Amino acid sequence: MKPEQIHEAIGLLAEAVKQWQTPAVTIVSQREGDPFKVLISCLLSLRTQDRTTGPASGRLFALADTPEKMVNLPVSTIEEAIYPVGFYRNKTVTILNVCRTLLDNYAGKVPDEIGELLKLKGVGRKTANLVVTLGFGKPGICVDTHVHRICNRWGYVETKTPEETEYALRSKLPGRYWLVINDLLVTFGQNHCVPISPRCSTCMIAHLCDRRGVGKSR
């Protein structure tokens, strides 16, 4: 994909993804508008499918929707609420640690800067960028496995890790696409441009894609 073709690709994807389910954390941000809930939902979503993340987030927030309320819940109650998300016991520990840090260091408020969010134990660049973009509407580029895979598959970037992809996109991707790139490529990657045997024969942007690393396709 040539750099100037990203405009056409984004436009085509924006129309295509309307047929598929919106990512779970995005739904939380649209419905709640609460950076704390975006943060916690994102932590729950790691290595967990959206069909599990959404209901688990709903059950947990019905019990506690602030750091103050969360730290007063018994560990077993949180574990029961978020099960069966992946690594639910570890995530319970992470959630409680994050909430305590928010109360101790940030007056119970989620910080709106990536550097401060990265100080929270268990929060990586993907989560920090997602909180900044979805929770606060500030510029950031959230790169997960889908964004990393697809941008390299297109030939738009040539990187080895999601972090490298984030920095490559920060220097290359037009600013007006920063807030939407994650939602578009996560949805596209979950439903069409899948890791193994992507649906290239029916892809709306096949004419723009270099198909790097693609062996078998449909």
Cα–Cα distance for residue pair 115/41, rounded to 1 Å: 20
Helices (H), the chain: 6-16, 24-32, 35-45, 50-63, 67-71, 75-82, 88-105, 114-117, 125-130, 136, 145-154, 162-172, 181-191
Catalytic choice (18, 144, 210, 216): 144
Q: Do 24 and 42 touch, CB atoms closer than 8 A? A: no
144 among known catalytic residues: yes
Catalytic choice (37, 91, 126, 183): 126
Residue type, 147: V
Rounded to the nearest angstrom, the gap between the alpha carbon of residue 165 and the centroid of all alpha carbons in its chain is 14
Q: Do 175 and 139 touch, CB atoms closer than 8 A? A: yes
**What positions carry a catalytic annotation?**
126, 144
